[in-house]
Chains A and B, each alone.
Chain A
Amino acid sequence: EAQVTQNPRYLITVTGKKLTVTCSQNMNHEYMSWYRQDPGLGLRQIYYSMNVEVTDKGDVPEGYKVSRKEKRNFPLILESPSPNQTSLYFCASSGEGQGGTEAFFGQGTRLTVV
Chain B
Amino acid sequence: GQSLEQPSEVTAVEGAIVQINCTYQTSGFYGLSWYQQHDGGAPTFLSYNALDGLEETGRFSSFLSRSDSYGYLLLQELQMKDSASYFCAVKKAGTALIFGKGTTLSVSS
Interface presence of B91 (CB below 8 A): yes
Given contacts A42-B99, A45-B98, contact A101 B89 (CB under 8 A): yes
CB neighbours (8 Å) of A108 from chain B are 41-42
Q: Tell me how many residue pairs across A and B have CB atoms closer than 8 Å.
A: 71
Task: Provide the bound-state CA to CA distance between A41 and B44, in Å.
Answer: 18
Task: Provide the bound-state CA to CA distance between A99 and B98, in Å.
Answer: 14
Given contacts A100-B91, A102-B45, A105-B43, contact A42 B96 (CB under 8 A): no
The contact size tier of chain B is 20 to 34
B42 touching A42, Cβ below 8 Å: no
The contact size tier of chain A is 20 to 34
Task: Write the chain A residue with the least CB distance to B89.
Answer: A101
CB neighbours (8 Å) of B42 from chain A are 90, 105-108
Task: Point out residues on A near B: beta carbons under 8 Å.
Answer: 31, 33, 35, 40-45, 48, 50, 56, 58, 90, 92, 94, 98-108
